[in-house]
Amino acid sequence: MEKVWFITGSSRGLGRSLTEAVLASGDKVAATARNISQLDGLVAKYGEQLLPVQLDVTDYSRVYDAVAEAVAHFGKIDVLVNNAGFGITGATEAFTDEQVRSQLETNLYAVIEVTRAVLPYMRKQRSGRIMQVSSIGGRMGTAGVSIYQAAKFGVSGFSESLAQEVKELGIFVTSVEPGGFRTDWAGDSMTYAPRIEGYDLVNSRADFFKGGSFVPVGDPDKAAKAMVDLANHAEPPVHLILGSEAIRMLANMEELREKEKQQWMAVSLSTDHTDNEGDFFNSEFTKSYLNR
């Protein structure tokens, strides 16, 4: 059955690859971009399959108008993809207040707001797919991208909680968590904090990105195909990792976390109240979290 997609950040990078893949599959797309003239070539090729929608995702009042515009045009939204975002590198203390705010406003708050704008329509139609483009950096921390990853951790956690809320409404939520892909994430889409002496690891990472040496293994066209297939899957995952680099990085981090957990287990368990000792899995608090 033909689907209607609402994709943010559709003019470049993964968003562009996904928009093209969705259109090629025969589905329709409300494609948002700050500069919709960048979509002219796709409009010429696909005509009424594509609705360009001007949107800066940090203009939260405009978000609701853009969603309403898409529904008025196509009659529904079946798949929401929150893809708009950008990277930033630097030492945590070096970021300006504006850099911190812009990261959170674009990469986290906008994801939440666009989702909130679309949910009433999906709730009424009792169906929908939501894909939040997070990052492997939403599952593990890396020096030099702390503010970016703070936002992406938020997206991954938000998506996991939301998935439990809306499943009974026929809505499925997936946090898409790519590793490095050959987009302009480390190119034109990357910004930098002012350089501070002493942060050798962070500064070398910034130099690595700036020097153009970052050549990831991920193919955005293949990621787009995986996401198109995901929209048709009967039981989509809550977390979908994309790329072999991301798989290896996460496996290594999980091993380190498990080792740390075991090393400090005695301290963790020592903090229970004596009234509940030995009764962990029967507590109402635990039942509420395990009952998914």
Paired strand residues for 100 = none
Which SS3 state, helix, strand or coil, does residue 170 take? coil
Question: With contact defined as beta carbons under 8 Å apart, do 126 and 167 qualify?
Answer: no
Report the alpha-carbon distance of residue 146 to residue 226 in Å, rounded.
28
Other C-beta atoms within 10 Å of 283: how many? 13
Check: CB of residue 64 under 8 Å from CB of residue 41.
no
HEC profile of 11-56 = CCHHHHHHHHHHHHCCCEEEEEECCHHHHHHHHHHHHHHEEEEECC
Q: Give yes or no for a contact between 230 and 24, defined as CB atoms under 8 angstroms apart.
A: no
Residue 224 tokens read as 């787009």
Give catalytic residue positions.
134, 148, 152
Encoded amino acid at 291, one letter: N
What is the largest distance, in Å, between two alpha-carbon atoms of the chain? 70
